[in-house]
Amino acid sequence: IFYPDEEKGMKGFQVPTTESNQQPFDLAVVVSFGHFIPKSVLSQFKYGGLNMHPSLLPRHRGAAPIYHTILKDDKGAGISIIELHPKRFDCGKILSQVKLNNYDNSILYNQLLNQLSNLGTETLMETLQDFPNKSMNSIDQPEQGKTLASKVNKDISKVNWENSTQKEIWIHYRAFSDNISLQGMIYNKKYKTNKRIKFRKMLLGIYETHDLENKTIYQSLKTDLESYYNRCGGNSQIPFGTYFLELINQNKSYYNRCGGNFQIPFGTYFLETDKSKPYCNMLWVKCKDSWVGFTEVYEEGKKNDVKAQEFIFGKYTVSINNYNYK
């Protein structure tokens, strides 16, 4: 296994040779290489090079195919074994392409990464064992259906509660929760500043869950919220603690724009304290079309994740079942 220089990349890269006769290897094989191999290097290998790419090319060409498979909510996933193209990334002829069997598009990033890694290893070895035949029958990638999978960073993992639906937040949670994290901001009264929160263990959304327990949780929450609104006389002045990004009582213009009829701001959150309720001890946050629940969070500056009730206890707890609007 050979790696390019961390600073220089492929500039001045010396093609590795065999120990027996000091001749270049017949074939280069790259996986998650991250560098473009120029024609001057590639031409020194008798049969060029192969790349194992974790997507069904031409879909998701680029540096982050697994992230984009999740972010685009693809119904299928797989790997492609391709020739290294002398001029462009991920555009070489396809020697082998295999779909992941029984793909579950509710799994998280690391789970999908492991599944595609195992499938890619198996398919790559099979391709090498039958390389003459696979090479002779390779096919050009179609341009129709191509998409680009650009690099991702922490900014894309930030939740916009106002513009994101429950399903969209779930998709971002799948992509980022077990690596760079799904993130939001919370106003800290003690330090009078916003602090970054990383969200863990999100409850699967009601829109696609077949889990009876989850359905019971969401139905109970929906019923109790409707009951709460009625007790408030239709005026949703819910005393939910503080709000993400800013305190609503510091934003009087919002209240005025609502005509004095106070609306629940996006990013409002609460923790139900009534232990008889199936949705208790979860951090519930208001998004564009619903509420999303988390059982664990990580607060910037802390050492470990904490359960939702530990993070929020004593600060922003409320029972929507025991509160009556006056």
Task: Kindly list the structural domains of the chain, giving each domain's residue range(s) and its CATH number in brackets, ordered by start.
Answer: 28-136 (3.40.50.170), 155-318 (no CATH)
What pLDDT sits at residue 12? 72
What pLDDT sits at residue 290? 85
| Residues making up the chain, counted from first to last | 326
The CA distance from 115 to 100, in Å, is: 8
pTM to 2 decimal places: 0.82
Do 32 and 74 touch, CB atoms closer than 8 A? no
Do 294 and 203 touch, CB atoms closer than 8 A? yes
What pLDDT sits at residue 281? 83
- Say which residues have a Cβ less than 8 Å from residue 146's Cβ, sequence separation at least 6: 58, 59, 61
The CA distance from 270 to 315, in Å, is: 10
**What is the SS3 assignment for 46?**
coil
Do 270 and 240 touch, CB atoms closer than 8 A? yes
The H or E element spanning position 318 is: strand 317-318
Q: How high is the mean pLDDT in each 10-residue block of the chain (326 residues)?
A: 72 78 87 85 91 97 96 96 94 97 91 97 97 97 94 90 91 93 74 77 70 80 76 50 35 44 69 83 85 84 65 47 40
- 54 prior amide bond cis, ω within 30: no
- Say which residues have a Cβ less than 8 Å from residue 245's Cβ, sequence separation at least 6: 185, 187, 194, 267
The CA distance from 261 to 79, in Å, is: 53
What pLDDT sits at residue 245? 31
Do 299 and 197 touch, CB atoms closer than 8 A? yes
What pLDDT sits at residue 242? 36
What pLDDT sits at residue 311? 61
Strands 317-318 and 269-272: parallel
What pLDDT sits at residue 295? 86
Do 116 and 66 touch, CB atoms closer than 8 A? yes
At 90, phi and psi to the nearest 5? 55, 30
Burial zone of 209 (CB within 10 Å; 0-12 exposed, 13-18 middle, 19+ buried): middle
At 110, phi and psi to the nearest 5? -65, -35
At 104, phi and psi to the nearest 5? -100, 105
At 227, phi and psi to the nearest 5? -65, -40
